[in-house]
Amino acid sequence: MLNGPKSLLAVALSALMCACGSSGPSGSFGDTHGPRHNVSAHQSQASDGLDPDMVAGVSAGGSDPPIGLKFLVDTRPIVGVPVQLKLALIPTPGAGISHIHGTLQVADGLQLQSERTFDIDALQGGAPVQQQVTVMPQRAGVLSLSATLEIDYDSGSMARTYAIPLIAANAS
């Protein structure tokens, strides 16, 4: 049985494998050292307006109604260098979400440089809501950001936590 950091690494790698996929034209990861194209400049936007390279955050509750979460890392995470993430909160159409309270938490080795909490009230049907987050890796390896969403909607309220794995490299 794995204990301590080894078990955390195994869980993080499993989550990463579940969350990642390739939607690039050649099926490769592309240039991991340079900046990505801006969402507004990306040629193949998905029909929901989200960058097709966004991947789903991992949640024990799944991404079923009333909300899902996808994320995109603009550049390769490097130790000591701030990195921007784009989070997309995707409400289920017709779920009647009236309010979302989000809380961000980082695991060891990752520093949050954005606000720790956010609130969203003006939801427009099932339109995705994007949130910018900045983190800075403090060490190389698999790091984790979690986003807990507390959702108020027509038939009640619920909370769902999503894991967002990042793989940071040492500066070359």
| Residue 127: inside a domain | yes
- Digit-coded pLDDT (tens) for 10-22: 444 444 444 443 3
| Residue 118: inside a domain | yes
What is the domain range of residue 138? Answer: 5-23+50-168
| Residue 67: inside a domain | yes
pLDDT at 64: 64
pLDDT at 116: 96
| Residue 91: inside a domain | yes
pLDDT at 148: 95
Asked whether the predicted pLDDT for residue 30 surpasses 50, the reply is no
Q: What is the domain-level CATH number for residue 17? A: 2.60.40.10
Asked whether the predicted pLDDT for residue 32 surpasses 50, the reply is no
| Residue 79: inside a domain | yes
| Model pTM score | 0.69
Q: Kindly list the distances between the CA atom of residue 92 and the CA atoms of 62, 63, 124, 127, 129, in Å, as whole numbers in the listed order.
A: 13, 10, 11, 9, 12
Asked whether the predicted pLDDT for residue 24 surpasses 70, the reply is no
Q: Kindly list the distances between the CA atom of residue 111 and the CA atoms of 87, 104, 108, 137, in Å, as whole numbers in the listed order.
A: 17, 11, 8, 6
Asked whether the predicted pLDDT for residue 23 surpasses 90, the reply is no
| Residue 62: inside a domain | yes
Looking at the structure of the chain, the number of domains it has is: 1
Asked whether the predicted pLDDT for residue 168 surpasses 90, the reply is yes
pLDDT at 146: 95
| Residue 113: inside a domain | yes
| Residue 35: inside a domain | no
pLDDT at 147: 95
Name, in order, each residue with C-beta under 8 angstroms of 58's C-beta and a sequence gap of 6 or more. Answer: 15, 18, 19, 162, 163, 164, 165
Please answer whether residues 74 and 85 qualify as being in contact, where contact means their C-beta atoms are separated by less than 8 angstroms: yes
How high does pLDDT run on average in the chain? 76
